[in-house]
Chain A
Amino acid sequence: EIVMTQSPATLSVSPGERATLSCRASQSVSSNLAWYQQKPGQAPRLLIYGASTRATGIPARFSGSGSGTEFTLTISSLQSEDFAVYYCQQYNNWREYTFGQGTKLEIK
């Protein structure tokens, strides 16, 4: 099983600042990586797929990068609605999808 490790577990950032979230895979997943945002009481929402492609309707302040085992989600200028939990997910192998444990982005 491919293990996804996200860091940090919690990130405190002020509105307007940049946030950088990391995700590491235990083995290469090429660019088969997605990012999701989840707010309390809501279902997850797809932000990024293919490691760097924004999903439909996702603001340009969200960007993804990386390949292989190291990935980054960057939010360039945090808005109040961006404070949430973020998950990475690898889909390198059918029947073996895994998520990271999540990073909680909180207001500083």
Chain B
Amino acid sequence: EVQLVESGGGLVQPGRSLRLSCAASGFTFDDYAMHWVRQAPGKGLEWVSGISWNSGSIGYADSVKGRFTISRDNAKNSLYLQMNSLRAEDTALYYCAKGRMGDRRGWFDPWGQGTLVTVSS
């Protein structure tokens, strides 16, 4: 069974940094693209960032470009999101999601349960 478990969320002041992690199991992690998707309280879904199987293709939403950095460690079956210069509007539940094999564009399946990031002074 595929499992994605996010961690690293919490309360952080505006302008500070936070690093999210996603531990993957139940599939060959280094074969698949991975993504971060967030959901602000009571709002819809927003794709944040994605990374191909070998880190050769990386993308970011305009709202986080230049502030967030996605990375992965295939030896540890782990995905990361380094979030710098955090703003109140970054407050959300951050989901880790499995993409398609290689660097193919596609859908997200499955998703983790999410880790909550709250940016507030």
A binding-site residues for B, Cβ under 8 Å: 1, 32, 34, 36, 38, 43-46, 49, 55, 87, 89, 91-102
Q: Are B47's CB and A49's CB within 8 A?
A: no
Q: Which residues of A contact B60 (CB under 8 A)?
A: 95
Q: Are A99's CB and B44's CB within 8 A?
A: yes
Q: Are A89's CB and B45's CB within 8 A?
A: yes
Q: Are A102's CB and B57's CB within 8 A?
A: no
Give the contacting residue for A46; candidates B46, B47, B59, B109; CB below 8 A.
Answer: B109
Q: Are B47's CB and A98's CB within 8 A?
A: yes
In the complex, B30 has a CB within 8 A of chain A: no
Q: Which residues of A contact B95 (CB under 8 A)?
A: 43-44
B binding-site residues for A, Cβ under 8 Å: 35, 44-47, 50, 57-60, 62, 95, 103, 105-114
Q: Are B107's CB and A91's CB within 8 A?
A: yes
Q: Are A92's CB and B105's CB within 8 A?
A: yes
- Sample of 10 further A-B pairs with CB below 8 A, known A32-B106, A46-B107, A95-B50: A32-B105, A36-B45, A43-B110, A49-B107, A49-B109, A89-B45, A89-B47, A91-B105, A96-B59, A98-B47
Given contacts A32-B105, A43-B113, A46-B107, contact A94 B47 (CB under 8 A): no
Assembly CA distance A55 to B111 (angstroms): 14
Q: Which residues of B contact A96 (CB under 8 A)?
A: 59
Give the contacting residue for B114; candidates A43, A45, A46, A101; CB below 8 A.
Answer: A43
Give the contacting residue for A101; candidates B44, B62, B103, B111; CB below 8 A.
Answer: B44
Q: Are A94's CB and B105's CB within 8 A?
A: yes
Closest to A94 in B: B105
